[in-house]
């Protein structure tokens, strides 16, 4: 049934819809369990704060629904973080799809000579590297994407893309039918459009 976007209280939905239009795609925005389960692909976007987003998802049963989806699912920014096991943002238990924790940028673990002057949140363009997934077919190593975030997913066995900002963290994750990107593909120009196309057509 095509492409669906999860409708909830932390979705940056309009910008995702515009990005899909630019590549000639349309999506239905919904919190209807039957529609989400029947979609060919699901996008789980997000901007905002983790604990209130998780409360909203749990109150509507969307937490169990998302975890139980069998088709490819793409989490974006907060959406990816909510798919991890835990977030330091207000001590939040998340969906537990990716076996990694989300931590605050605060200089801990910063690599030598980097980190003391970090501006938090990270806002702007940064490169992605060590790309390991069909999600990145045709995307050159060290391509630049657009980030807005104060928390990051630690490196794990699910990491399929990395970015360095004081320390090296997971800018993309993959496990089973679930994918996540910390950056905003809908704001990342041609690179972001290619990643969205790859998700829709290639994974």
Give the DSSP H or E segment for 116.
none
What integer pLDDT is reported at residue 57 of this predicted model?
A: 94
Total tally of structural domains belonging to the chain: 1
Question: Which pLDDT score, from 0 to 100, does residue 127 have?
Answer: 97
Give the pLDDT confidence score for residue 110 in this predicted structure: 55
Three-state DSSP state, 155: coil
Catalytic residues: 77, 184, 186
**Cα separations (Å) of 190 from 14, 53, 75, 146?**
18, 29, 19, 11
Question: In the prediction, which pLDDT does 10 show?
Answer: 80
Beta bridge partners of residue 102, listed in sequence order = 87, 153
The whole-number pLDDT of residue 9 equals 86
Q: Give the position of tokens 């905003």.
A: 184
pLDDT of residue 113: 45
Boundaries of domain holding 128: 3-202
Question: Can you give the CATH number for the domain in which 135 is found?
Answer: 3.40.50.880
Q: Average pLDDT for consecutive 10-residue bins of the chain (203 residues)?
A: 90 90 95 96 94 94 97 97 97 97 78 61 96 97 97 97 96 98 97 97 90
Give the pLDDT of residue 182.
Answer: 98
């Amino acid at each position: 049934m095509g492409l669906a976007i999860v409708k909830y209280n932390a979705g940056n939905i309009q910008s995702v819809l515009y990005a899909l239009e630019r590549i000639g795609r349309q999506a239905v925005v919904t919190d209807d369990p039957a529609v989400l389960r029947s979609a060919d692909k699901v996008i789980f976007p997000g901007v905002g704060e983790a604990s209130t987003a998780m409360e909203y998802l749990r109150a509507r049963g969307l937490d169990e629904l998302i975890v139980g989806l069998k088709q490819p699912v793409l989490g974006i920014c907060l959406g990816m973080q909510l798919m991890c096991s835990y977030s330091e943002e207000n001590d939040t238990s998340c969906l537990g799809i990716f076996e990694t924790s989300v931590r605050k940028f605060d200089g801990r673990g910063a690599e030598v000579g980097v980190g003391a002057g970090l501006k938090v949140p990270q806002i702007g363009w940064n490169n992605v590297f060590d790309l390991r997934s069909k999600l990145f077919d045709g995307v050159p190593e060290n391509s630049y994407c657009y980030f807005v975030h104060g928390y990051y997913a630690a490196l794990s066995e699910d990491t399929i893309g990395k970015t360095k900002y004081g320390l090296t963290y997971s800018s993309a994750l993959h496990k089973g039918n679930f994918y996540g990107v910390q950056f905003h593909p809908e704001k990342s120009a041609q690179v972001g459009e290619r990643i969205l196309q790859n998700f829709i057509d290639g994974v």
